[in-house]
Amino acid sequence: MSTPLEDLFAKTRNERAILIGYVPAGFPTKDGCLAIIKAMVDGGVDAIEVGFPYSDPVMDGPVIQAAAELALSNGVGARDVFDALEYAATLVPSVVMTYWNPIERFGVAEFAKEISARGGSGVITPDLTIEESSQWIAETDRSGVNRIYVVAPSTVSERLAAVTAQSSGFIYAASLMGVTGTRNSLSTDASALVGRVREVTKTPIAVGLGVSTASQAAEVAQYADGVIVGSAFIKKVQEAESLEAGLAAVTQLAAELAAGVRTR
C-alpha cells in the first residue's frame, strides 16, 4: 500500500514539481508551529516536513538552529513532534526530519509505528547511513513508512545506487556541500546530482538547501520532482513584528514559491 506522499508524487510527476515546506515542531511555540503549517498550506505548499528539534544538528544552518533552540527551550519532545505531524497530515502528505539519536532514544520500532499511527508518510534521516540501517529498514517496512535518505554532490555513483535502493517516498538531494540556509544563488551541483541520481533510480528526487525565492524554486523545478524550503519560511517568522505578521509573510512566500514550482 502506498503512502500519501507516494500518491502525491505519482499524481504530479509528469506535470510539475511539488513544494515541500519545513518547520521545526514547537517553533516559535507548540501552537505557533501548527499555525505556520496551516499558513504554508494555505499559500500552496504541497507537503510538510516537520523537524525534530535536536541539540547537535549537523545539517542545519544558523536560522534553523536558532528555531530548534527556541523549540527545545519550550520543552518540545517526541510527542510534540508527533502531534505536529498528525496535524500536518490532516492537510497534506507529511514527514518528519530527524537525526538518528532521537529515534534510538524513543525506540526504533515505536518511532516507526508512531509515524504511521499519526498519518505520517515517512522520515528523513540525514545522519543515518545505510550500513547502520538494518533495524530501521525492518521496522519501516513493517510500519509502511517511507525511508528518505540524503545524498550530496560528494556521494560517489556506486554509493548513490546503494542508498537509493533503500530509499522510498523520495530521495533528498542536498544541493551543495554545507548546511541549510537561504542563498542568493544555487549551486550548479544540484542539477548534476539529480541527473546522477536519475541514472540509478526511478524514485522521485526533491532538492533542498538554499531555495528561498520563486525564481530559485522555478529553476529547481525544471529538473527535480520536489523543492524543499525551510530557512526562508522560518526567517519570515523570526523577522516579523508579531506571529500574525509572520504567518501572513509565510503564506505570501508559499504562494510565490508555489507559483515558481508550477512553471515547469
Centroid of chain to Cα 178: 16
Q: Are 54 and 101 in contact (CB under 8 A)?
A: yes
CA nearest 251: which of 81, 51, 11, 19? 19
Q: Looking up cell 528523513, which residue turns up?
A: 124
- Indicate the burial class of 119 (C-beta count within 10 angstroms; 0-12, 13-18, 19 or more): middle
SS3 88: helix
Task: Give the span between the Cα atoms of 5 and 116, in whole angstroms.
Answer: 12
Q: Which of 60, 114, 219, 225 is catalytic?
A: 60
Active site residue 60: yes
> 192 in the Ramachandran plot: left (φ > 0), alpha (ψ -120 to 50) or beta?
alpha
- HSE-up (13 A, CA, CB side) for residue 223: 18
- Catalytic residue, from 49, 83, 114, 219: name it: 49
At position 135, the amino acid (one-letter code) is: Q
User: H helices then E strands: how many in the chain?
Assistant: 12, 9
Angle at 24 between CA 119 and CA 77, to 5 degrees: 75
Residue with cell 534510538: 104
Q: What is the b/e burial string over 184-222, where b = at least 16 CB atoms within 10 angstroms of the residue's CB? A: eebbebbbebbebbbebeebbbbbbbbbbbbebbbbbbe
- The residues annotated as belonging to the active site are 49, 60
